[in-house]
Structure formats: C-alpha cells, structure tokens
C-alpha cells in the first residue's frame, strides 16, 4: 500500500511543469533509509525516501515519504521560499497511523497582519471553504502552534481512506496550484528591514518545527537517534545549518 505516492508523483509533475526546477542537495545517507520492525507475522519493512528541489524563488522544496504497510504511511511535503521573498511556506503533512488519518495542509504565514492575510490567505479562502464541507475540522491542536498557521489551515481527520484518496488528494493539489500561482507572481523584497523580518520569521518557524517534529520518535525507533537528529537538522529543517556553514547569504 502506497497511499501517498500519487500525491507525491502529481506534486513533482506539477512543479516540473510550472517551475524551472533544479536539484537540491540531499546529504549522504538521507535519500533512502530502510529498517525492519516487528517480529514474526508482524515484521514490516519501513522505508523513508527523500526528494528535494530548488528554484530562483524557492530555497528548498522537499519531501519525506515513509512507507511501512497499511498502518504506516506518511508524506511530509514542505516548500521553503528564498529569504528575499515574503512568500508563505507550503506545508502538507499527510499521515496514516493505526489510529487513523491525520491531514494538515496550509500556506503557513510569515506574518499575521491584515495586508499579508489579504495577499496570501484571502485568495485561498474559497478553496478552503469548499474542502471543509468534505473534510471537517480535526479538533484542537497546541496553542503554541497556532502562530504558525493561516486562516486557511486545512486540518482534518478523515475516517475513510476513500476520503483521503479523493477529497484530500484534490485539496492538496488545489492548495499547491494556488501556492505556485503566488510563486509565479512573486517579486523579490529589497527593503533591508523587511528582509530582516523575513529572515527572523523563517528561523523562528524552522526552530519550532525542528524542536517539535512529531516524526522524531518514529524515526528514532526505526533508525536511531543519531540519524534522526541529523536528518531533522541537516535536511528537513536545515536553514540554520546552511547559515552556519556560510552556504546561505543573509543580511
């Protein structure tokens, strides 16, 4: 069972058709990882496959695809803009565990002022409301996390896999389509003060996501702590590492 492979395939095809993609370096040892979990009849091979691209406007487009049978399917698909654009982050967390499906799709904002919402949230509101009728609100999530989500945050817990294969699939692609529309229209920011605010917002978001990554426990169980921490800080949320190594010029 590869529930989220069609999501990933379509996303990459869409990106290739609309943007001038270039490879983004994936550190050695992270492109593919495999582990065996369980014993006897419950023995399962768990694989994690990583993908990464970049464009003029987008610093890192990356995906982590975890496959471990019907009870474990995860696609974490995130787009980080370059620091000289005020674009939001695109985030798709598509998770299937023994307890059910957890779906989070959003254009996570750098800022929460009215002008930013008008630019990046309001154009998506109709799409959000359309899919809400099929994918109802998934319930509470941590208070500290709310600052990182937009008014069009699609958070749902579908009870049926068929809903994931249809409504979630359509919503994911609709959000990505809207996001790429923003990317295609984006103009570089040149104001030093605004650039500093963008940089700070990126670092704040990356630090939170790296610290609170819900996949940490899962990865540690399968692949060990050392690999997991390096995967999180050296690939999934690598901005600070890139800055420290001088690979990313910021103001």
Q: In this predicted model, what pLDDT tens digit does every residue of 130-185 receive, in sequence order?
A: 999 999 999 988 788 888 999 999 999 999 999 999 999 999 999 999 999 999 99
How far is CA 159 from each of CA 135, 156, 165, rounded to the nearest angstrom?
Answer: 10, 10, 12
Distance CA 21, CA 18 (A): 9
How far is CA 162 from each of CA 11, 65, 75, 135, 170, rounded to the nearest angstrom?
Answer: 19, 20, 17, 12, 12
How far is CA 105 from each of CA 9, 46, 52, 102, 230, rounded to the nearest angstrom?
Answer: 17, 24, 19, 10, 25
**Residue 96: other Cβ atoms inside 10 A:** 23
Domain boundaries along the sequence of the chain: 5-193
For the domain spanning 5-193, the CATH number is 3.40.1500.20
How far is CA 73 from each of CA 113, 139, 219, rounded to the nearest angstrom?
Answer: 36, 21, 13
And the tokens for 32?
């593919």
- Report, as an integer, the average pLDDT of 18-42: 92
Average pLDDT over the chain, rounded to an integer: 94
Task: Provide the pLDDT for residue 40.
Answer: 78
């Amino acid at each position: 069972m590869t529930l989220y492979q069609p999501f990933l395939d379509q996303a990459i095809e869409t990106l290739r058709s609309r943007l001038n993609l270039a490879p983004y370096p994936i550190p050695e040892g992270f492109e593919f990882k495999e582990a065996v979990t369980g014993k006897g009849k419950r023995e399962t091979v768990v694989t994690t496959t990583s993908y990464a691209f970049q464009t003029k406007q987008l610093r890192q487009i990356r995906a982590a695809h975890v496959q471990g049978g019907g009870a474990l399917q995860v696609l974490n698909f995130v787009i980080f803009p370059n620091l000289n654009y005020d674009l939001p982050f695109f985030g798709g967390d598509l998770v299937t565990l023994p307890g059910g499906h957890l779906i989070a799709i959003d254009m996570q904002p750098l800022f929460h002022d009215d002008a930013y919402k008008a630019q990046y949230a309001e154009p998506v509101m109709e799409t959000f409301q359309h899919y809400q009728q099929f994918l109802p609100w998934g319930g509470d999530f941590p208070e500290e996390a709310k600052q990182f989500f937009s008014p069009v945050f699609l958070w749902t817990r579908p009870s049926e896999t068929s809903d994931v294969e249809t409504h979630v699939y359509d919503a994911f692609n609709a959000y990505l389509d809207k996001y790429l529309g923003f990317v295609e229209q984006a103009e570089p920011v040149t104001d030093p003060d605004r650039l500093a605010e963008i940089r700070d917002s990126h670092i704040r978001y990356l630090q939170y996501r790296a610290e609170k990554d819900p996949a940490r426990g899962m990865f540690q169980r399968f692949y060990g702590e050392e690999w997991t921490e390096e995967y999180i800080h050296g690939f999934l949320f690598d901005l600070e590492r890139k800055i420290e190594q001088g690979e990313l010029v910021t103001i």
